[in-house]
Structure 1
Amino acid sequence: MRFRRNQRMNESSTAGAARRAHSWAANIGPGLVTVASDNDPSGIATYTLAGAWYGFDQLWVCVLSYPSTVALQLIAARVAAITGCGLTTNMREHYAPLFFYFAVGRFLIANTFNIAVDVLAMGLALQLLGGGSIAWLTLASGCVSLVLQWSILYERYALFLKWLTLAMFGYFGVVLLVDVPWQTVALRAFVPRMEWNEGYVTMLIAVLGTTVSPYLMFAQAEQEAQDVEEQKGTRSEALNRKMSVVRGQVLLRTGLSNAVSLCVMIAAAATLHVMRHAPVDQVVRIDRVLEPLAKGYAGHVLALALLGSALRALPPLAGSAAQAVASSLHWERGDRRDQRIAWLLVTIMVLGIATAWILAACRVEPVRTLYWSAVVNGMTVTPVLVLLVLLSSKRKAVGDLAAHWMLRALSWLATIATAAVLVAHFALEFA
């Protein structure tokens, strides 16, 4: 990841703040994909509810989706590395406007709603730590996040957030402390178990929506496009070496993210589900998962995990959405484009914060809202995946270095699976 380091000391504080915001949106936003931002509050809530309501029955999603999730990110990176443009630009050039604007609109709406529920999760976290009105805590935490994105470079920001996100590893501790039926876990992790009912299928959509997220692909592609622009004239051999490095990073990063997801689900299944504290579709106190490790401080540990993961997820969510809009409008790269992206980021964040405040003021149950954010994401992921896989086979987009057949096969598998689950959901709902 690259930052703008050539700020002159004699610039005004306003100009300096704007440049830092440009770095957030134009550089950090698309490229920041970490364990914490992959497992944002929406993901934590969804995996917890999956384990609490259905036990170990959906572990297989996190395991079997791993190859396809890696393949989708590698295809996105390869398309960007060959063309020097992100996915949005490539889709605009190779698809009819109807399909292109549908994909961009879906991405923008999903990201904005995801921002809203993550801001709401920060309000919930602050309430768990010290009490108070969740509506005003949500508004305050959202404003603080926006100020941090505008005024502080990521390097300084991450020095503090990395300690907050360590709370997420409390789920590993729970898995080690409680009695886990490991034979059942091993079986359910590799052998899918399906239930033909609307609740199970809806949960499956949510888990797929937070595991196979288009945000990962858009983020990866934008980062590679920026790298290509900064390294014009790179020979194909160097490009191949670059892609080899990207492959290793994606394999490791996705593996760590899915491992955290598995631990959250296993911990919830071994505590809430096995102890029958969470009947299906009932409200769940997701902090109880951490009680075997943290005892009376379980709520505090959960709060730190929600705060850390939300603060890490918000900049890339807003930044990648702003990038998608900029690419769809064909803005040329440069300082003027960065300035526009910075204000787009602010606009998207403000919309997300306002939505979060309305949800909190209406006393919408936060955990269910986080869960339904994942459902919405899962319901809208298939069209984007279809466009991405088709793009990888277009010679005009990737030249002679078309994506390997294995990558395309794995990507089509993920696309067909998400589409099949969506069809099953509608069949059950309207049957």
Structure 2
Amino acid sequence: MSEKKKSPLKKFWKMIGPGLVTGASDDDPSGIATYSQAGAAFGLTTLWTAIVAFPLMAAIQQMCARIGLVTSEGLTGTLKKHYPKPILYLMLLFSFPAIVMNIGADIAAMGAVGNLLFPVIDASFFSVFFTLLLIFLIIYLPYRKIVATLKYLCIVMLVYFVVPFLYKQDLMAILKATFIPTIKFDKEFIAILVGILGTTISPYLFFWQTSVEVEETKSKKTHVVIDKKIISEMKTDVDFGMTFSALVMYFIILATGTVLYNGNIHQINTVEEAAMALKPLAGNLAYLLFAVGIISTGLIAIPVLGGSLSYIFSETFGWEEGLDKKFHEAKGFYFIIAISLLLGLSLNYVGISPIKALIYTAILYGVTAPVLIGIILHISNNKKIMGIYVNGIWMNILGFAALVIMLVAAILLFLV
């Protein structure tokens, strides 16, 4: 079928890729646990955070994608070339444990939900199964198939758009909570806000987005010249992905903020608790959809987490890298992915609970995110690096807003 005869929907689906996968991976099982606790503890009060988070997420991810397209290097490679080495090693030091703990929490959640769906099979079996399955697929599938698989897995996440409407809703209350922000100056509410920010504007996504844009360009058979059309398509892709991410976040808060909050269930520590709590209150279908969605988000997010860490290491030490390469061509790159997933799995057996892993991850992300956002802003406004593709005024406004908000969140993280 020629390009002219393709339907607009097919053309759009072909164009989107890295941005959608990045957006979907932002709503990983650990993120779902945070959103579920926000809804259970405070009802609809935090719905407005999805509206606020969207432009900030989109702005930062667009900057990262543009850096990758213009420089043909990942964020780590750009840092290595233009900034002092101590900054690079500091990012590596903070990123490695945070990403591994995030992977561990996600694997544990997938295992627990697998056990909920099939109680006769132990959760640890599912955790091991999903870990080995992901390592195998990441190593043996070429980049194009990985992206295509992750894109179609994103469709499964649409189940979260359905779950809230399996329960009676108050439309006026929803609209009020969405567009009129409410802030409570108490420890628990501030902690939830910090958690939401930490899981939506996560440093690992910065590294992934930059590197995967380079990967996307390399995967095309012909040499790609970066022009305004390419940049425009990238913006559409990223905006679509971040919109998708914000909507999933919104509907999870909506579901738990009505079903669980109104059912007097105000404490949710894990995603499996959220799924189980939905069952008697909203019915078997809501429970099943919520659980299946968790496994799908894990299958999307864990390759992104492992891949981002591998890009960081490979670019730092000058190894061959890329999901488009075969195992023997980039052994170090794939070893890091495998090791990160196996280390994440091992957290389930060394006494670190998924909840503690999430707390430690949030602290490390909270510390590194403001620094990285500041560096991304500096790179994006540096004409020697970006040429004519430096930030516009609105991109800078949103970027600096994200920097200030994440900086305040990082400070509050230690004060609350």
Identify whether the pair has TM-score above 0.5, normalized to the shorter chain: yes
1:64 Cα deviation from its structure 2 partner? 1.0
Matched, 1:86 2:74: yes
Q: Which residue of 2 aligns with 1:401?
A: 389
The one of 11, 27, 45 equivalent to 2:33 is 45
Measured in 1, the distance between the counterparts of 2:149 and 2:75 equals 32
Counterpart residue type for residue 418 of structure 1? M
Match of 1:314 in 2: 302
Check if 1:351 corresponds to 2:343: yes
Quote the Cα distance in structure 2 between the aligned partners of 1:69 and 1:282: 25
Give 5+ residue unaligned stretches, structure 2.
1-16
Deviation at 1:292, TM superposition (A): 7.7
Aligned pair in 2 of structure 1 residues 89, 347: CA closer, same or farther (>3 Å)? same
1:197 aligns with 2:182: no
Residues 157 and 332 from structure 1, CA distance in 2 versus in 1: closer, same or farther, beyond 3 angstroms?
Answer: closer
CA distance in 1, matches of 2:303, 2:200: 19
- Partners in 2 of 1:230 and 1:36 — Cα distance? 21
**Residue 120 of structure 1: aligned partner:** 108
CA distance in 2 between partners of 1:284 and 1:149 (Å): 26
1:173–1:321 Cα change, 3 Å: same
Change (3 A) 1:164 1:221: closer
Cα offset, 1:30, TM superposition: 7.7
Match status 1:179 vs 2:171: no
Which 10-residue stretch deviates more, 96-105 or 154-163? 154-163
**1:313 Cα deviation after fit:** 1.5
User: What one-letter code is carried by the residue in structure 2 that aligns with 1:190?
Assistant: F
**Deviation of 1:377 (Å):** 3.2
Cα offset, 1:155, TM superposition:
6.3
Partner of 1:23: none
- 1:260-299 map, 5 Å: 260-279=248-267, 285-288=273-276, 290-291=278-279, 295-296=283-284, 298-299=286-287
Superposed CA RMSD in Å reads 3.2
Q: Deviations over 1:336-358 (max 9, x none)?
A: 76232112212222211212343
- Contact 2:44/2:254, CA 8 A, preserved across alignment: yes
**Equivalent residue runs for 1:10-409 within 5 Å:** 33=21, 36-131=24-119, 132-153=121-142, 168-228=157-217, 235=225, 238-279=226-267, 285-288=273-276, 290-291=278-279, 295-296=283-284, 298-331=286-319, 338-359=330-351, 364=353, 366=354, 373-374=361-362, 376-409=364-397
SS in 1 for 2:169: coil
Deviations 1:91-149 (A, max 9, x none): 12222222222123322322211111111112102210222433344233322332333
Q: How far apart, in 1, do the equivalents of 2:281 and 2:161 lie?
A: 10
Deviation at 1:63, TM superposition (A): 0.8
Shift of residue 295, structure 1, vs aligned partner:
1.8
Tell me which residue corresponds to 1:411: 399
Change (3 A) 1:263 1:375: farther
Mapped partners of 1:119, 1:44: distance in 2: 13
User: Cα distance 1:56–1:283, how it changes in 2: closer, same or farther (>3 A)?
Assistant: same
Distance 1:31 1:166 in 2: 14
Q: Which amino acid letter does the alignment assign opposite residue 91 of structure 1?
A: L
Q: What is the distance in 2 between the residues matched to 1:282 and 1:316?
A: 21
Contact 2:135-2:337 within 8 A present in 1 as well: no
Identity of aligned residues (%): 26
Distance across 1 between alignment mates of 2:215 and 2:152: 29
Given that residues 67 and 380 in structure 2 are in contact (C-alpha distance below 8 angstroms), is that contact kept between their aligned partners in structure 1? yes
Q: Give the Å deviation of 1:412.
A: 0.9
- Tell me the TM-score normalized by structure 1: 0.81
| TM-score (ref. length: structure 2) | 0.83
Structure 1 245/32 Cα, relative in aligned 2: closer, same or farther at 3 Å?
closer
